[in-house]
Structure 1
Amino acid sequence: MKILLAGDSTVAACPSYEYPMSGWGAHLAPETYWWAAVHNFAKGGATTESFREEGLWTQLLHQTVAGDVVLIQFGHNDQKREHLAARTGYSDNLRRMVAEVRAKGGVPILCTSVERRHFLAGALQATLGEYPAVVRELGSELGLDVIDLNQWTRTLYEELGEEKSKELFFHFAPGAHAHWAGGLEDNTHFHQKGATMIAGYVAEQLETLGFVGARA
């Protein structure tokens, strides 16, 4: 069995010059048994549309065989494009992806988008509109398992609090990172610490669903 990942930068492996920025998919392999090989096709900036247009979805499907698990997480960039609204282009594209994975004998699992870290007056704000709700609804409609990363990350940030949750994200003071000499406060992309925590949760959910063994 393989685990194949489709998604955006919050899932993708980042280039070495951005280290320690990371998507959670880059840390999933060590969280599972060695026989559950992980193939990460996620790409920064990807939408449910561009992922197909750039050929990444075709590559993923080409490697999918019966019994493989395909995790699908989009939304952050779809949200920026009017024609990919949650209940129109986005949901239509996800339905098509699910159908194509099933046609290959694979097992599609939808993931709600990880939440951005956006606090206002001490309260965590929801930034992804209807996108997480649509994924949950598609899970019920299509008989799919859903890994609710949006709810889990919201709970995580709230438990850590506004200041402590910064440690999960890509925050650097001026001069602390060679690529961002002027400093950076990025509340969308994860530091390795945050990405690893999310990967651990995904692995636990896959174990609960019966797709991988317990972590070593």
Structure 2
Amino acid sequence: MTIDRRTLLRASLGGATAGVLGVTTAARAAPGPGRRSTIFVAGDSTAATYALADLPRAGWGQALPVFLHHGVAVVNAALSGASSKSFADQGRLDLIRAAIRPGDTLLISFGHNDEKVEDPARGTDPWTTFQDYLRRYLDGARAARAHPILVTPVERRRFTADGVPYLSHGAYPDAMRALARQTRTPLIDLTALSFDLWGRLGPEATKDHFLWLDAGEQPTYPAGAADNTHFQAHGAIEVARLVVAAGRSLPGRDRRALRDPAIPDDVLTWPPIRPAES
């Protein structure tokens, strides 16, 4: 398959457009002369880019450009419902491998759907098949002389009746941490970072980050929503902040934006359709 990389990396100012191959391209202004650095995201619904019909739902991959300088493109290939297994088995890793170039970065974040072990198309065992599939992403990036970074799955909104947060991902984060050590791969421990953030915010304040909406608050969710896994714009932005702040090897980190505690929700844009599903 011949890939037109210029087409893949086309992006509208401040927004997101559907590129070829069902891969999302998100970036801000075009850079000056020279080659643009590109960050690819392979992940699930917590990272995916959402459409106008989903507003205000957003994924952290959709919000990454908020914390990056204009010369860095983000190709967000994260797909709702994907596990490390199904993403690869459906050929989506192959599409990234065909497009990624030397010096690019690949963020790899799975776990939510790998946990669905009752589903043979998605479920993996943390210490065997999960690690085996993740190695495919690492090997693919390194074969292209790109830089893989493992990202443990963002934690869900889980609190006891006493308001104490608790972990929900079982052994999957530990399995990813162990693989990072074994393969000398940089790791962003988003599980730990997000768990700490949700604990500091508490049960009520976290509702402003997750997709909690009152009935009639948003026309896209007329009955309201009480989603403890997915984010609205504010949460996507704050999780993206965690990723970029911890990802010290990411190109083009915007330290001024990272220090800004008041990034407005409307800095995000929503494309007409979900790019990764088009």
Normalised to the residue count of structure 1, the TM-score between the two structures is 0.94
Indicate the residue corresponding to 2:229 in structure 1: 188
Say whether 1:212 aligns with 2:248: no
Indicate the residue corresponding to 1:113 in structure 2: 153
For residue 213 of structure 1, report the CA deviation from its aligned partner: 4.2
Separation (CA, whole Å) in 2 of partners of 1:214 and 1:34: 9
Say whether 1:155 aligns with 2:191: no
Separation (CA, whole Å) in 2 of partners of 1:52 and 1:91: 13
Separation (CA, whole Å) in 1 of partners of 2:215 and 2:66: 32
Indicate the residue corresponding to 1:43 in structure 2: 79
Separation (CA, whole Å) in 2 of partners of 1:173 and 1:214: 34
Indicate the residue corresponding to 1:197 in structure 2: 238
Change (3 A) 1:75 1:43: same
Indicate the residue corresponding to 2:131 in structure 1: 91
Task: Check the 8 A contact 1:33/1:215 in 2, yes or no.
Answer: no
* Structure 1 alignment gaps of length 5 or more: none
Between structures 1 and 2, the one with greater helix share? 1
Residue 127 of structure 2 aligns to a residue whose secondary structure is helix
Greater alpha carbon shift after TM alignment, 31-40 vs 104-113: 31-40
Separation (CA, whole Å) in 2 of partners of 1:97 and 1:211: 19
- Percent sequence identity is 35
* Structure 2 alignment gaps of length 5 or more: 1-36, 257-278
Separation (CA, whole Å) in 2 of partners of 1:141 and 1:35: 33
Residue 119 of structure 1 aligns to a residue whose secondary structure is coil
Change (3 A) 1:37 1:177: same
Separation (CA, whole Å) in 2 of partners of 1:182 and 1:2: 39
Task: Check the 8 A contact 1:10/1:190 in 2, yes or no.
Answer: yes
Q: Count residues in correspondence.
A: 215
Q: Which runs of 4+ in 1 moved over 3 A?
A: 213-216
For residue 110 of structure 1, report the CA deviation from its aligned partner: 0.2
Residue 186 of structure 1 aligns to a residue whose secondary structure is strand
Q: Which amino acid aligns with 1:178?
A: P
Separation (CA, whole Å) in 1 of partners of 2:232 and 2:254: 25
Separation (CA, whole Å) in 1 of partners of 2:153 and 2:243: 12
Equivalent in 128, 136, 144 of residue 185 of structure 2: 144
CA RMSD of aligned residues (A): 1.4
Separation (CA, whole Å) in 1 of partners of 2:136 and 2:223: 42
Equivalent in 88, 101, 112 of residue 76 of structure 1: 112
Residue 109 of structure 1 aligns to a residue whose secondary structure is strand
Normalised to the residue count of structure 2, the TM-score between the two structures is 0.74
